[in-house]
Each structure stands twice: as structure tokens, then as C-alpha cells.
């Protein structure tokens, strides 16, 4: 069964450094999302992306965050200058709205900011 | 009032029991309702997906949505130790829109 894949599974970064989290969505999906889950808290929406532009973003998704679809298969989340509070699991999801399919998630990248 | 509320548990049941998991929500605009299962250090795995009110059954799993009460449920029949996981309810207003998640209920099924 097709799946969303994310790399790396664990990223350790010094505070203030830039980090890029990578995702390969399911191949025929056109809608892409990033969510995060701080330890012990709810899964929270960050941003949705369609047709090479952001369709919706949350208050969390400030100027430090950006997303990109650099080629036909990858979808990335960049955090420009990481803060301690950015430590969380980051999940990528994709969906095929045309066929009324819900969002399918990857296994996440655990981001640890030191 | 939180948009989506879910009792975090933990909930512990013996193998073979019927499990009932529930969420309430406050936003009447929600139309699409999902249940995800999350094992430790894994991503949410879609279990059930329903639109508007009604019931949906898939094997041992039954999802119910009562929009008039703003209440959704997931029932697991003949629960197995492999069902031990955190169960997340999620919902959105429109296809492709952001998902709003509940806190998740941690379920443990004892052999």
C-alpha cells in the first residue's frame, strides 16, 4: 500500500540553526500538509499546500517556517532559526481530495533542539 | 471551550472486551470525521473515515457520528493486545481542510 515517507526519522540540531525536514507524499496525491506534536500534546496543524502555494497556515507557522515542493516528489518544511520550543514530532500528510480521500500521515521526524 | 475534547485515559481492558472511545466537539461546521490509531513513535494511521452523521463499520471497528449532539464514537469489538495504541479523533470542515485533533485516548488491551 502506498505510504508517506519522511526523513530523517530523528534530527538533533543546535538552537539557532536551520533545519529541513523532508517528505515524499503518496505519488498521486496533490494536497500536502505539515503537522506537529509536542510531547504529551495534541497533533497540531501547521500548513497545507496545493498547486505550489500555501492554501492555509496556522498561527504557529510564522516567518521562521517555510515549505517547498522542490521537485515532483518531495515536500519540505524548513525552520530557519530553530528555538527550543520547536522540539516536537513533525508529521507530513497528503491527500487526494479529488477522490474524497482523507489525509494519510508519515511516521514523522522527531526534532530535538539543544 | 476546546474545539475537540477526548478523554486521554489511559483505558485498560481485557482481551475480547468491547471498547468504546469518544470525542465531543463544539464547532457545528465540522462535516468529516476520522479515527486514527497511533503506535508509539509512529505516525497516525487512518482507521475510519465518515461524512456527516451515521454509522460505518469495518471489520471489528464501528464509527458513529451524531452531529446533533456533536459526539463521535469508535467501537472496537473483540479487542486484541495488538489494538493497544493511542486512538485519535480528528475532524475538519471541508475536504482537504486542516484536521483538528483530539488529545488521543491511550488504550491497553491485556491478554
- Range 63-92 of A in CB contact (< 8 A) with B: 91
A106 and A4 Cβ atoms separated by less than 8 Å: yes
Interchain contact, B43 vs A4, CB within 8 Å: yes
SS3 for A99? helix
Q: How many Å apart are CA A45 and CA A32, to the nearest integer?
A: 12
Reading the block at residue A47, the C-alpha cell is 500548513
Terminal-to-terminal C-alpha distance of chain B: 38
What pLDDT score was predicted for residue B8?
A: 86
Distances (CA, A) of B15 to A1, B57, B111: 29, 20, 5
Which residues of B have a CB under 8 Å from any CB of A? 32, 34, 36, 41-46, 49, 88, 90, 95-104
Distances (CA, A) of A59 to A40, A53, A102, B4: 20, 17, 23, 18
Looking at CA atoms only, how far is residue A68 from chain B in angstroms? 18
- pLDDT tens digits, A19-36: 999 999 998 898 999 999
Of the pLDDT bands very low, low, confident and very high (cuts 50, 70, 90), residue A112 is: very high
User: What rounded mean pLDDT belongs to chain B?
Assistant: 94
SS3 for A97? helix
SS3 for A101? coil
- Using the predicted structure, report yes or no on whether residue B57 has a pLDDT greater than 90: yes
Terminal-to-terminal C-alpha distance of chain A: 37
- Using the predicted structure, report yes or no on whether residue B39 has a pLDDT greater than 70: yes
The separation between CA A70 and the C-alpha centre of its own chain, rounded to angstroms, equals 14
- Using the predicted structure, report yes or no on whether residue A100 has a pLDDT greater than 70: no
What pLDDT score was predicted for residue A71?
A: 87
Residue with cell 494536497: A31
Write a three-state SS string for B17-84: CCEEEEEEECCCCCCEEEEEEECCCCCCEEEEEEECCEEEEECCEEEEEECCCCEEEEEECCCCHHHC
% chain B with pLDDT above 70 = 99
Reading the block at residue B8, the C-alpha cell is 486521554
Contacts of A39 in chain B (CB under 8 A): none
What pLDDT score was predicted for residue A32?
A: 94
Interchain contact, A107 vs B90, CB within 8 Å: no
Which residue, B2, B4, B12, is CA-closest to B85?
B12
A108 and B43 Cβ atoms separated by less than 8 Å: yes
pLDDT-wise least confident of A86-90, B5-9, B75-79: B5-9
Q: Which of A33, A43, A48 sits opposite B88 (nearest CB)?
A: A43
- Using the predicted structure, report yes or no on whether residue A98 has a pLDDT greater than 70: no
- pLDDT tens digits, B88-108: 999 999 877 899 999 999 999
SS3 for B96? coil
Interchain contact, A91 vs B104, CB within 8 Å: no
% chain A with pLDDT above 90 = 82
Q: Which of A42, A102, A105 sits opposite B43 (nearest CB)?
A: A105
Amino acid at each position: 500500500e502506498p505510504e508517506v515517507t519522511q526523513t530523517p526519522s530523528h534530527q538533533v540540531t543546535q538552537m539557532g540553526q536551520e533545519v529541513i525536514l523532508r517528505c515524499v507524499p503518496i505519488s498521486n496525491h496533490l494536497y500536502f500538509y505539515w503537522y506537529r506534536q509536542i510531547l504529551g500534546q495534541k497533533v497540531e496543524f501547521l500548513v497545507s499546500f496545493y498547486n505550489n502555494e500555501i492554501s492555509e497556515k496556522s498561527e504557529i507557522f510564522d516567518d521562521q517556517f517555510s515549505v517547498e515542493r522542490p521537485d515532483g516528489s518531495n515536500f519540505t518544511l524548513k525552520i530557519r532559526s530553530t528555538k527550543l520550543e520547536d522540539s516536537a514530532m513533525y508529521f507530513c500528510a497528503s491527500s487526494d481530495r479529488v477522490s474524497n480521500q482523507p489525509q494519510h500521515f508519515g511516521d514523522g521526524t522527531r526534532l530535538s533542539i539543544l | 471551550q476546546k474545539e475537540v475534547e477526548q478523554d486521554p485515559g489511559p483505558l485498560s481492558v481485557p482481551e475480547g472486551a468491547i471498547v468504546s472511545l469518544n470525542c465531543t466537539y463544539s464547532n457545528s461546521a465540522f462535516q468529516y470525521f476520522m479515527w486514527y490509531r497511533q503506535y508509539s513513535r509512529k505516525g497516525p494511521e487512518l482507521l475510519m473515515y465518515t461524512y456527516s452523521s451515521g454509522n460505518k463499520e469495518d471489520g471489528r471497528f464501528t464509527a458513529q457520528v451524531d452531529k446533533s449532539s456533536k459526539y463521535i464514537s469508535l467501537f472496537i469489538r473483540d479487542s486484541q493486545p495488538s489494538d493497544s495504541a493511542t486512538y485519535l479523533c480528528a475532524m475538519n470542515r471541508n475536504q482537504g481542510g486542516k484536521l483538528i485533533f483530539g488529545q488521543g485516548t491511550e488504550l491497553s488491551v491485556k491478554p
